[in-house]
Every structure is written in structure tokens, then in C-alpha cells.
Structure 1
Amino acid sequence: MKAKGYTWPARPKRLGVARSANERRYGVTDPGTVRVYGYHLAPPAGVTAEQLAEETRREKKRKALMTDALTKAYTGRDGATTGTSLTGGCRGEALKQLGLLRLEALNAVDLAQQQGWKRTEADSRAKAVNAKWSACMKKAGHTYADPHAAAGDPAWWTEGEGDSAALKKTRAAEIATAVADVKCKQQVGYVMVWQSVETTYQNKIIEANKQDLEDVRQRWQSALRKAAQVLR
């Protein structure tokens, strides 16, 4: 990037302890968290609201520095270019040097995860517990087919400003729905069923694709070694 006359605005180190990507694999599950944040993500552990606000401000400033010309130098494409190729620009050079170009495409790990999830969704046991959850939610006054529909309700994600009565009402409704969501999951054993079904499919997929998955692991290990050498 320096050779092209640019300095890439690096993302600042994240505050606090990062939350697990699996924390909401089956939707909201923690009663204490939903009573405060509803379906919105709680801040990282150990981070105050003030710190989070400051981090958001810094990120906005960073993005403001990312002009079209800067982005094109990084990706090798302008904003009007479509496609998902990562071979261009300085990013492509870096991935090539680390041997990661092939991994940036859909790889065996991604495919295994997608297959496991799709098979779980289609499984009669998962569908049955979805129906039980939905019936439980209906009794509580909330009509949703499954937890993803509840979490994805557009009402919770409409951006607004100020502290109006309407926003407060929507926020209260979101929290009430999320609390009922968690209670119904506990009542019908939702997470246990989905985890059991998905784990069974995942193990079968892993067994059937051992070599492909091992190849991905070895490529990442190689990339980490090369990265360590580059950064010395």
C-alpha cells in the first residue's frame, strides 16, 4: 500500500474479551442478557458502555479515511465491480504470499458447516421442536415460526434517533419477546434437540471428508508460519 502511495487505516484492537461465534447459534439463550439487550448483542465482556461508544466513534473515523481510491488499491477493484475474487490489489498479494488464495473461496470447512446446518433444518426432530417452540411463543402472545424469525423481526432493527416514546415501546416489546423466546427454548428443550441433531450430522460429514478437512487445517498452519516470518 505504501508503494502505491497509501496508508491503510488498520482496525484498532478490539476491546474486552471476544464473544464466541457459537453463543447464538440457536438464537438467544441467556435469560440475563436478553432482559437488558433483547435480541441485540451485548458488548464484549469487560467493556463499559462509554468504552463501546468510543470504539464506535474510532471505527467511524477509520471508515471515513477509506476513500474509493484507497479501497481500489487494497482490493484491485472499484466500487462498481462485482464478483468475489480476492486475487487483486494489495490484499490479493498478501493472500498469495501466505498461500491463502484457495482458502478464501468456499472450502471444505465452510461446506461441512453448511451441509450440517441444512440437514439439521430439514430433520423432523428439529422441525418438531420448532413447532413446539412456536406454540409456546403463541401462548405468550408472540407469533413466529421459529427463533430466527423472532430475532430477525424488522421491528427490532429499525434505526431511530432520540429517546422517543415509540422507540421505548419498541425496545420494551423486543425485550419481552426475547425473554419469552428464551423461556420457551428452555421449556421445550430447544437447544438440546438442535445441538444433538446437528452434532450427529457434523460427525458424519467430518468422517466422510477427513482428508479435505485436514488439507484446510494444514494450509492454515502453513499460513500462520509464513505470517510469523513476514512479521519478524
Structure 2
Amino acid sequence: MRRISWAAGVAAVLVCAGGCGAQQGSRNAEQPLDPVPVSATGPALPLDSYMPSPDEQARSDRAQAVLERACLARFGLRWDGPGESALDIGRRMAASRQAERFGVVDPEQASRYGYQVPSWSTHNPRVGAILAARHVDVPPDVEKVLYGMTPEFGGERVPKDGCRAEAAGRLGRGAPEADRNLPARLAVQAVASTAEDPRLKPVLRAWKSCMERAGHDYASPKAASQDPLWKHHQAPSKTELTVAATDIRCQHEARYLPTLVTVTAQHQRRLMGPHTAELDRLQDQQEIRAENVTEALSTKPSHSTPAEGTWDGSG
């Protein structure tokens, strides 16, 4: 029985106490996925500092795995999972979220993928299929202790809700309670306000005029990216690549991205005002959690001998 599947992990909210990527072990040899380009995540916004960056998410997921393994070792169980691809899911999810919030604005992405989802993104069906194929069920004894499916194991009492919950508790130890989903909700509200902001109208007119001169009739970059002609294709057509490249050129000419970032940032700050106290608590929580993550990653791994019948992840 699988308590938490890879698919469920990918569908879950990115900010999760137990680590977004640390789900399953892998019996298969790891094959590297396309790397996430440095330019993909785009410009920063005020609310970003209240959400884990891709690198922070990766460290958190690795710390979660370290603490889970240490907990399991107390019961004579050795688990070498989760695999590298599982540990990378949270980082890729964070990068994918940041890369998509302004639409297609990166020249490199437009020239390679057009309006298609990049090959490194967790929103790419191919990436999801590859990651899902690499993951297997946790071995029975490990599963029982990892998820707290038994009150005791080997004569020792199992932590409430298992080693996974214990590890998550360790990473949050000493941190104040705070609404970790608040920044994402405010970000959504800021996007809606930005779409109605009159300061974008002259920019969109300039962009539309530029596109029309090139023979493309779209009301906005979003409309161009959502043209039905681009759907249901595994690879972008020459026409799509041409339109995407022109789109980026016109964005640059109209100063679309700088304006969009400035306006969005202002709306975010306005919305953050009434939530100063909650955001301060969230920042304190993140700082304490970061300290706990550093402590966990600096802990020497246990070299306990696996109990008979346990699995070491080697297949």
C-alpha cells in the first residue's frame, strides 16, 4: 500500500511542512532530467521572500529525508529513499511556479519551446510520466514506521504518525504558527488587480501594434500564448516559434515585462499592508525553519545495520 503517491505529491500545495519532494524511494537507476535554466524563474516580487525559493525547498526536502532515515535507523531499518528525482520535485515545482507567473517572457524559452511547457517543468506531462515511472512503493516494514501505521516496531514505540511526522516536527521546532498559504493567496489577488490596472493599457496597445505590423493579431501576450493553434502539440511548429519570437521582441519594444513587474509589485505591497503581523510571523517561522534545516543537514548519517528483511533501496 502506498500512503503518499508521487502524483499526489506533485498535486499538493508547494509549501508543505513535511517536504514536497520527499515521497518515495526508487529501485531504478536515476536518469537526469533537463536542468532548470537560471533565467527561467524571472524577476523577483515582494511576496517571494515569504515563500521558499527553489533552492530553499530543495534543502528542506533533503533535511526531511535525513531526519526520516535517522528515525528509521532507531528501529533497525535502513532506507536509502527517496531517490534523487523525488528530492528534486519540490525545487522544480517552485521554479515552475515562478517561471509561469508572467507568461512566456524569456527569449531563450520562446526560441526553444514557443508557447509549450518547457521540458524541465513539472507541468510538462512528459516530466510527470518520467518521475512517476521512477518511483515505487515503500517496503512494508519501512512504510509501517515511516507513516505510523503501527504503534510499535521491534519492541520500540513508533512516533505518532510515524517518522515522517516526527521529521516534519523537527524542522518546524520552535517556529511560531503562521498561515503559510497566505503569500500565495495574496499573489493571486495581486494578479487580478494588475490585470485591471490602467497603467498596462498603453503598454498592451504598443505591444499589439508591434505584433500587427508583423502580421499577428492578438489582444495581449496571454492571448497569443493561448491560441488554439498551439494546443495538442508535443513540439512547437515553425509558425509558433515565429510568433513567440515576435511576441518577445514586441514585449521588449513596449517595455511590457518591466511595467508588469512594477505594477504587480505595487499591488502586492498594497495587499500585504493589512497582513503585516501575520507576514512577520511567517518570516520568523521561515528563519527558524532554515536554522533547523541547516542543523539536520549537518548531522552525520546513521550507519545502523538494517534489520533482517528490510530494504536498503538498492533493489
TM-score for both structures, normalised by structure 2:
0.48
Distance 1:101 1:130, change over 3 A: farther
Q: Is the 8 A contact 2:178 2:278 kept in 1?
A: no
For 1:219, the equivalent position in structure 2 comes to 285
- The answer to whether the aligner puts 1:119 opposite 2:193 as a matched pair is yes
- The answer to whether the aligner puts 1:10 opposite 2:87 as a matched pair is no
Q: 2: distance between equivalents of 1:173 and 1:71?
A: 51
* 1:168-202 Cα shifts (integer Å, max 9, x gaps): xx521221111111122122221122122122223
Match of 1:198 among 245, 264, 268: 264
Q: 2: distance between equivalents of 1:151 and 1:35?
A: 13
For 2:111, the equivalent position in structure 1 comes to 35
For 1:189, the equivalent position in structure 2 comes to 255
The Cα of 1:217 is off from its aligned counterpart by 0.9
Match of 2:171 among 86, 91, 98: 98
Q: 2: distance between equivalents of 1:10 and 1:126?
A: 45
Q: Is the 8 A contact 1:98 1:223 kept in 2?
A: yes
Q: 1: distance between equivalents of 2:223 and 2:285?
A: 37
* 1:87-139 Cα shifts (integer Å, max 9, x gaps): x77655543343389667522x2233223222211212224433443343344
- The answer to whether the aligner puts 1:148 opposite 2:214 as a matched pair is no
Structure having the larger proportion of residues in helix = 1
Q: 2: distance between equivalents of 1:115 and 1:156?
A: 28
Match of 1:110 among 176, 184, 190: 184
Correspondence list, 1:52-63, <5 A = 59=131, 61-63=133-135
Please state whether the residue corresponding to 1:209 is helix, strand or coil.
helix
In the alignment of these two chains, the number of paired residues is 200
* 1:33-66 Cα shifts (integer Å, max 9, x gaps): 422332343769xxxxxxxxxx999735423x25
Distance 1:188 1:228, change over 3 A: closer
The Cα of 1:75 is off from its aligned counterpart by 8.0
Matched letter for residue 225 of structure 1: E
The Cα of 1:23 is off from its aligned counterpart by 5.2
Q: 1: distance between equivalents of 2:144 and 2:179?
A: 19
* 1:115-169 Cα shifts (integer Å, max 9, x gaps): 3222211212224433443343344333433222323445445254xxxxxx6xx
Please state whether the residue corresponding to 2:134 is helix, strand or coil.
helix
Q: 2: distance between equivalents of 1:176 and 1:200?
A: 33
Matched letter for residue 96 of structure 1: G
The Cα of 1:11 is off from its aligned counterpart by 3.2
Distance 1:10 1:115, change over 3 A: same
Matched letter for residue 250 of structure 2: C
Q: Is the 8 A contact 1:36 1:175 kept in 2?
A: yes
The Cα of 1:203 is off from its aligned counterpart by 2.9
Identity of aligned residues (%): 25
- Give the CA RMSD over aligned residues: 4.5
Matched letter for residue 37 of structure 1: Y
User: Please, which runs of 5 or more residues in structure 1 have no aligned partner?
Assistant: 45-54, 77-87, 161-166
Q: Is the 8 A contact 1:156 1:174 kept in 2?
A: yes
Q: 1: distance between equivalents of 2:295 and 2:227?
A: 47
Q: 1: distance between equivalents of 2:168 and 2:264?
A: 32
